[in-house]
Structure 1
């Protein structure tokens, strides 16, 4: 089975015509043993989830306000190792009408962090047959380096079109002028790396920024909404077309957040608000049955949200081969 064959059919009565000529170009990445891209269609909108790889982080990052024994129990229940957890890094490419939209840009390459299994986005876009010059818009859920780093790789800016529009919440740009790290719980080195990446991004791309306050329709059926919480300008992207819906939640939802939405993630700058945002979003998704994709859910992360007692439950889609 090739990577190009992994796509779900969201409505069996509505075949995915056009996907074969859009997101199924190119050959699988050389030497890859697992799929790294996953295509689906939301009404008339083509969607491609692309893996930027994984980065290992201390398990305390899953919930630094939780008791260590509770974290260990969750990891054990999930058959995961106790000390380091591989965080998935998912990016989405959307085609709506004449626009090709990149939602987030992955980690990029930061040699000081020694994360060789991440930063795969650019080569995987190439393997999928997606030319950077075809991207008309970029939407950034926030400015953490694992969401903007791909734009900072040498040569990438020169490959992008000069009239590229980069959509980001105005509150996010304001925050990174003097970021507050007093409520986070990150490994050493990460705050400095985050500051440096945000500063470099603002310097290189300021002329292409298109700022919004609360929400903005980037393309037909593609709307970005500011949620705050994770960062002041953190945003989610809602896709709506043909009666179908999908939300790309960025860092509003993590794997542990279904069972423990009140656990504070180590990268959250306002963890109390982030927890409120998470609960509101999961309740909404459970109520309306729409699809969820998020940056750090296991690839391809496409699934639904259900409610079981006092907890939420992630229900992955069945892959359609």
Structure 2
């Protein structure tokens, strides 16, 4: 009775581990955010080639639930419902329920970073108060430290986004202080589920690798955006260190192209499950054939 006409969830098996990619919806962003270091005609040409509008884009928001052994791991939590300017995002609580995933079954939360579209769902009714009181929240120590005094000097964000990002991260860290489980470099959250700090997008930005039975999938958070395959050196306006972000992106895509592992990322078109192929000095997005 709570399901939607088009269920916004996508199940993937990684060996013996169950992964479900869930759409938190979409939020509008200015198209220029996708490439802040390129000439306007180059960005316009890419947008046209991708059949995307020239000024305002719908940015996908993907979240994942991973079940391994007796652990149920929520990777990021979407935007939440407290931002009236983004009415088509913040769908996670509804869509968890439609997928039959009870919030109290979640044993661990992994956060790729503390931008509001990754933590907002944990701050509002729907998930807050319905998770176990002792649910563990894993994030890189460098991420928690960064948001004590965040640096926006290299970002290109419309006002008042920086202020909202900072206030949301501060509120989150205060609200979940007793449940935070910071790690330095990497941490195995559940059997075959490893979170690893990459830095770049934010100092503590992390990716999650799921591995079982010789199969692997990486949830890349904000390490890869839609232009990042063809133009991995394009800067995104939300990157706090765009040069390092480009290095992280290229390294990750090189690794995935060499290994053949699957990729999921927060802001790639839902469900975003793909392989990565080399294309000269760049890469190609190769959709995965669904087999469940």
User: What range describes the TM-score normalised by the shorter chain of this pair?
Assistant: over 0.9
Which residues in structure 2 correspond to 1:300-319 (within 5 Å)?
300-319=271-290
Matched residues in 1 for 2:257 and 2:243: separation?
A: 21
Using structure 1 for the length normalisation, give the TM-score. Answer: 0.89
Q: Return the TM-score normalized by structure 2.
A: 0.98
- Identify the residue that residue 19 of structure 1 maps to in structure 2: none
Q: Does residue 54 in structure 1 map to residue 48 in structure 2?
A: no
- Assess if the C-alpha contact under 8 Å between 2:230 and 2:282 holds in 1: yes
Gaps of 5+ in 1: 1-26
Report if aligned partners of 1:142, 1:168 keep a CA contact under 8 Å in 2.
yes
Once residues 162 and 115 of structure 1 are traced to their aligned partners in structure 2, the CA distance between those partners, rounded to angstroms, is 29
Report SS of the residue matched to 2:168.
helix
Picking from 133, 155, 180, the partner of 2:104 is 133
- Is 2:216 the partner of 1:245? yes
Tell me the distance in 2 between the aligned counterparts of 1:173 and 1:320: 38
Whether contact under 8 Å (1:28, 1:128) holds in the other structure is no
1:200 aligns with 2:171: yes
Unmatched segments (≥5 aa) in structure 2: none
Query: Is it true that 1:73 corresponds to 2:45 in the alignment?
Result: yes
Pick closer, same or farther for the CA change 1:42–1:221 going to 2, 3 Å.
same
- Counterparts of 1:174-185 in structure 2 under 5 Å? 174-185=145-156
RMSD: 1.2
Any runs of at least 4 consecutive aligned residues in structure 1 with deviations exceeding 4 A, and if so which?
none
User: Hey, what does 2:234 align to over in structure 1?
Assistant: 263
Following the alignment from structure 2 to structure 1, what is the Cα–Cα distance between the partners of residues 291 and 215? 17
Q: Displacement, 1:154?
A: 2.9
Count of aligned pairs: 292
Cα deviation 1:213-259 (Å, max 9, x = unaligned) = 00000010000000000000000000110000000000000110001
Q: Is the 8 A contact 1:55 1:86 kept in 2?
A: yes
* CA distance in structure 1 between the partners assigned to 2:161 and 2:259 by the alignment: 37
